[in-house]
Structure 1
Amino acid sequence: MSEVWTIRRVLEWTREYLAEKGIENARLETEWLLGTALGLDRVGLYVNFDKPLNQNELGTIRGLVARRAKREPLQYILGSQEFFGLDFEVTPAVLIPRHDTEVLVEEALKRAPAAGSILDIGVGSGCIAVSLAKSLPETAVWGVDRSAAALALARRNVERHGVRVTLVEGSLFEPLTGERFDMIVSNPPYIPTADIGTLQAEVRDAEPLMALDGGVDGLDFYRLIVSGASGHLAPRGWLMVEVGIGQAEAVLGMFTRAGFGDCFTAKDPNGIDRVVGGRIP
């Protein structure tokens, strides 16, 4: 007679297995994986604690758990990530949205024109552009990315949330000749090249390298964005960027040397300077 695997038993076995593989929050991740495999929310799992699972269900669960045990990010396995109160489709074509980046959206909304234009450089999944478009329906939001695969995903997220975002393919300002915006925002690659190998396996081995690598000191893209922004900002337009830990001072110096005024920094929930911004004269 074959063994009976109930939801309770699979939950406990999977939690222990993922914990042994070094997965933090193994219990919570187990609940997400099983809930996805079985089409149940967290309450549904516990209401059906003693329900036996059939071989098809067990096979689906095994497949998801094996992927996570190999340190594939949970968000890629589930296919989504919550950001700024919205659900975004994510794939290995884009960086997984982080809640730290919500600070950039919040600071942009404080200063955004009621009916102007905003450009998001390196749009990725579209989480920043879509969040801004959702909060500012009268504002013309644009997004640019050099990855065709990222743009395809961003388009799906734009459609998912019923907003208007103009998406263009190209590197930085290259495809935007003659366009000017009231605000430019960006979460560019900012990890120093030598530090890539020290990142968590989920980040280092699964997320797109071109969304992570910021050059020798991690600041390559800030130099390009700050130097090019003045040619694409309307008078009194804002430039705002997310920065990595310990980078705010250097990036702020770039802003002031480029002639930006009203410069500021903003901290994330952990007290780390996460956003640098300034206004063109």
Structure 2
Amino acid sequence: MITNPSPALDALLRDAAIRIDATDARWLLAHAAGRSQTWLFAHARDPAPDGVAARFESLVARRAAGEPVAYLTGVRGFFGLDLAVTPATLIPRPETELLVELALARLPAEHARVVDLGTGSGAVALAIARKRSDAAVLATDASSEALAVARANAQALDVPNVRFAHGDWYAPLDSARFDVIASNPPYIEDADPHLSQGDLRFEPASALSSGADGLDAIRVLAAGAPAHLAPGGWLLIEHGLAQGAAVRALFENAGLVEVATERDLEARDRVTLGRAPGLQRAG
């Protein structure tokens, strides 16, 4: 019996690039083949291994329908970490790495106490904990499904200095105080049309939007920070590009000092930070 030969890997990529972004196609073909992109490049003219073409076609069809690549592959890179992600978690984005960098720069020299509120996949908490193995990091989330993903990431990446707690914002903290409170909360306006477009359609709504002006969660975070910051401790929150002034006002109304907004690599307002009065411990 004569069987049709498998198409070459580069032919699969060419055909897919008509329907989806070429970079996305390479990620999905590597995933379908269970190989790296380097392997894909080296074997571009080889016939596709058994089953790869069919798996790849299924992934391309789902991507063409708008499903995010990160959910299709189950992995997203962040701050040098390969994180598992699912539709229960927000997809970590490169701009959030600024939040991690700013938080790391404000930790005491030793034995820092850090909390990541609304951790999702654990991206911020795990990035900080990996860089500062002496730090005691707590990660919280109101979603038990998201916390399960974060816990699995901590185990897979062998990051032992992170604890997890289930609950909404400050609720799981009791009277604990921290040197740094970091959060990438929902901050999109509820009526923003982008929520029904592109990748955002597939991400958890609770991790994206927060009230008519997008600031409901940030109001809670700013108001509750003084009760959970150590003297001189820092609150750092990621937010939307048009929200810098409003977030600074919320920080100042909460009694924080040295309030400022930092911009991302595209010169857009991205993270606002403020310090609790008093001297931060040296370590």
TM tier, smaller: over 0.9
Query: In the TM superposition, what is the alpha-carbon distance from 1:54 to its structure 2 partner?
Result: 5.3
| Structure 1 residues 42-121: aligned runs within 5 Å | 42-53=37-48, 56-113=51-108, 114-121=110-117
* 2:175 maps to amino acid: G
Structure 1 segment 202-213 matched on structure 2, within 5 A: 202-213=198-209
Q: What's the TM-score once normalised by structure 2's chain length?
A: 0.92
Please identify, of 262-271 and 88-97, the stretch whose mean Cα deviation from structure 2 is larger.
262-271
What amino acid is the match of 2:90? L
Distance 1:203 1:51 in 2: 32
Q: Name the residue aligned to 2:263.
A: 267
Q: Deviations over 1:182-212 (max 9, x none)?
A: 11111110000010x3346333320000000
Q: Which of residues 161, 182, 186 in structure 1 aligns to 2:183?
A: 186
* Residue ranges of structure 2 left out of the alignment (5+ in a row): 278-283
1:236 Cα offset (Å): 1.3
State whether residues 141 and 147 of structure 2, in contact with CA within 8 Å, keep that contact through their aligned partners in structure 1.
yes
Structure 2 partner of 1:11: 13
Whether 1:249 aligns to 2:245 is: yes
Deviation of 1:49 after TM superposition, in Å, equals 2.4
> Offset of 1:168 from its aligned partner?
0.4
Q: What SS does structure 2 have at the residue aligned with 1:213?
A: coil
Give the unaligned 5+ runs of structure 1. 19-25
Name the structure 1 match of 2:194.
198
Equivalent residue letter for 2:82: D
Distance 1:242 1:216 in 2: 18
Per-residue CA deviations over 1:91-131 (Å, capped at 9, x if unaligned) read: 10000001101111111111111212011110100000000
- Partner residue of 1:23? none
How many residue pairs align between the two structures?
A: 273
SS of the aligned residue for 1:277 comes to strand
Instruction: Note if contact 2:111-2:134 (Cα within 8 Å) is conserved in structure 1.
Output: yes
CA distance in 1, matches of 2:184, 2:211: 15
Instruction: Let me know the Cα RMSD of the aligned residues.
Output: 1.4
TM-fit CA distance, 1:215 = 0.6
Q: Secondary structure at 2:174's aligned position in 1? A: coil
Displacement of 1:3 in angstroms is 4.5
- 2:134 matched to which residue of 1? 138
Higher percent of residues as helix: 1
How many angstroms apart in 1 are the aligned matches of 2:44 and 2:235? 52
| Alpha-carbon distance in structure 2 between the residues aligned to 1:54 and 1:240 | 48
Alignment partner for residue 163 of structure 2, among 156, 159, 166? 166
Q: Alpha-carbon deviation of 1:17?
A: 2.3
Deviations 1:16-57 (A, max 9, x none): 122xxxxxxx11111111111112322322322222235522
Secondary structure class of the residue paired with 1:238: strand
Shift in alpha-carbon separation, 1:100–1:7, aligned structure 2, 3 A: same
Give the TM-score of the pair, scaled to structure 1: 0.93
Q: Distance in 2 between matches of 1:217 and 1:100?
A: 21
